[in-house]
Structure formats: structure tokens, C-alpha cells
Amino acid sequence: MRLDTDTVKNRKRRVTMEDVAREAGVSRALVSLVMRDSPKVSEKRRARVLAAAERLGYRPNAIARHLASRRTHTIGVLLNELHNPFYAEIMDGVYEVADGLDFHVLIGASSGRTGGERATVETLLDLRVEGLILIGPRLPASAVVAASAWIPIVVVARPMRAPQVDSIMDDERLGTRLVVEHLAGLGHRRILHIDGGRGAGAATRRACYAAAMRNAGLGDEIRVVPGDYTDVAGARAAARLLASGDLPTAIFAANDFVATGAIDQLDDAGLSVPGDISIVGYDNIFLAALRRLALTTINQPRADMGRLAVRTLVERIEGTRSKPARHRLAPELIVRDTTGPPRVGTLVRR
């Protein structure tokens, strides 16, 4: 479209179908047929209307057009935050399947604030999305259930038990067990967990860590340091450990961001990873594979989670399934350079 003076001038107010009809010298009904790509319009009249629309800078109101058919073919996605690549990598799968199924995607982010999440959900509902995918939400379960009375909802990366809400998770119990078994197999006993605080799924991961430690015969060594799903939280937790002087030989971090923050803090204190302390993350975001980090971690099939979320949501939207879906995908351990056998004797700072 030409951004000439007339077009810019017309954009000072919204151009309507009536404006296009006057410009083309046709009825508003004919303009409506053209905008809906109706086969009932001749090519000559279609070209005349489209030329008038281009001259005026007209953009069809997609929401109004879709509401006439009671369908928008749009799904809304709530992201817990924008800083963690974990969420972006899930979105790769969301876009792939949504495009294939002819659904548009609207994204809202909340920066991890419960109040922000509520407002974002309300906005997406106002925009008449046909279903919602909530990725790592911190909303109370009751709020999610309340929203599901209006629209189909799929929750990703957080367990949900409500029958009207579907969920996509990795197998947290398996993933955490793989971490503990890996570290115990290297000879570690003092395996500490820096948790994800109030983050989505953090309580589950914390409980699974304790269960895995007991199953490995290390119940007496269970130790949890409060954190959050951020690198800052990982650094603070490591600083707290350093100040206490009571260091573990291995750390299981709630996610890869927590692990990187802890590694940075330990490095500043003169400790080596894994020479002094082994560290395992969770998620396997792209940063974990960088050569200078080479983080041992648990791979969540992030793109697969996004793909499955869209397919599950569309089943609800199209009415092809009414029973609750509880998809649990298998994670895998990715061993890199941040884990090794425990140092014999007392930790020595460089």
C-alpha cells in the first residue's frame, strides 16, 4: 500500500466500508462481499472496490468480520514472562501447528505478575479468541477454572486437575529422578536443590526432588534453598550458601536460568564447576548448549509441548473431544561439562 499524503491523511480517522463504497461508487453491501472474498462479485467490480480501498488506506475490521460468523479462528497465548527462552521455544511449536490449522495467534505477556496475568486474560477474552493457552501461569487454579467457563483452556508447564482444563507437562518425577540418579552415580550425596519459589510447577519439582533423594537412599541429605526461576535468584541462593560456609557437592537448580546465576556467583567466589561443585539445570534452553556454559540439564521437549498444546486446544474448540487431556511428555538428561565426581576432602577456593 502506498504511504502517500492522502493515505496518511485518511489514517487520522478509521476508514469505513461506507467510505470505500462512496469512493468506488457502489453499495456498502458490495464492499462487504468483496472484503469477504465472495465469489458472487465480478472481477471488474472487485478490482474497482479494491482499488478504492487502497487509495483510502482501508483495512477490514477482522474481529467484526469474524464475529458475523461467530468464529475468529484466533487463539490467545499467555506467557508468564518474555525473558526466559523456555517460553519462546514453546512458541515455536505453537506457531507451527496454529499456522497449519489456519488459526491466528495473539500473545499477551505478564512479566510473572498475577495481577498482570488476570488483566492479560481479560484482554484476550475481550478480543474474542476462541481458546487460551496459558504457558507457565502463576494464576490461582480457581481463576483458571473460572476463565474456562467461558472458553477452552490448555495450561502448559504446570499441573492442573480441573476436568474442564487440559494440561501439557513434562514428566517432572522422571526428570528429577534422572538428575538425582546422575549425581548420585557420580558419587554425590550432598545434593541441594535451589527451588523455583512460587513459579509454575516449582512445588511439583521440589516435591519430586525430595522423593528422588529418598528413593536414592539420601533422605537425610534433603536440603532446599528458596529461589525463583531467574538467574538473579540463582546468584542470591549461591551467595547465601557461600556465606553459610556449608556447601553441598552438587546443586540441582530449578531451571537453567537459576543454574547460570549460581555458576556465575560461585565463579566470582573462586570455586570451579564441576571441580568444586557440580550443577544441573532444567529445561535445556539454547543457552545451556553454549560451549562456555555447557550445562548438564534436563531437556523438556519444548516445541513438542507447544505443538501438542495447540492440537489439544483445537480439539476442544471444534468439539471433537470433551474429556480432559493430561499429556505428560518424557524428558531426558543431557550430560555436559558442569557435572563430575565430588572433590575429595575440603573445598579449596582458587
Find out whether 262 and 281 touch, Cβ atoms under 8 Å: no
In whole angstroms, what is the distance from residue 90 CA to residue 261 CA? Answer: 22
Q: Where are the domains of the chain?
A: 5-60, 74-171+301-329, 172-300
Query: pTM value?
Result: 0.79
Local confidence pLDDT in tens for the 350 residues of the chain: 343 444 434 444 678 888 999 999 999 888 888 887 778 889 999 899 989 988 988 877 665 555 555 678 899 999 987 888 999 999 999 999 999 999 999 999 876 565 788 989 998 988 889 999 999 998 999 999 999 988 999 999 998 888 999 999 999 999 999 999 999 999 999 999 999 998 888 999 999 999 999 999 999 999 999 999 999 999 999 999 999 999 999 999 999 999 999 999 999 999 999 999 999 999 999 999 999 999 999 999 999 999 999 999 999 999 998 889 999 999 999 999 999 999 876 444 33
The residues, any chain, with a CB within 8 Å of residue 259's CB and separated by 6 or more, are 234, 251, 253, 279, 280, 281, 282, 288, 295, 297, 338
The residues, any chain, with a CB within 8 Å of residue 147's CB and separated by 6 or more, are 121, 125, 132, 153
**Cα separations in angstroms, 175 against 159, 209, 297, 336:** 15, 9, 9, 16
| Residue 189 identity (one-letter amino acid) | R
Could you tell me which CATH number the domain at 5-60 has? 1.10.260.40
Find out whether 180 and 216 touch, Cβ atoms under 8 Å: yes
In whole angstroms, what is the distance from residue 325 CA to residue 305 CA? Answer: 13
Confirm or reject CATH 3.40.50.2300 for domain 172-300, answering yes or no.
Answer: yes
Confirm or reject CATH 3.40.50.1820 for domain 74-171+301-329, answering yes or no.
Answer: no
Burial (0-12, 13-18, 19+ Cβ within 10 Å), 229: buried
In whole angstroms, what is the distance from residue 22 CA to residue 178 CA? Answer: 69
| Residue 227 identity (one-letter amino acid) | G
Identify the sign of the CA torsion 328, 333, 339, 341.
positive
Assess whether the region 5-60 and the region 74-171+301-329 belong to the same CATH fold. no
Beta strand 131-135 pairing with 74-79: parallel
| 173 SS3 class | helix
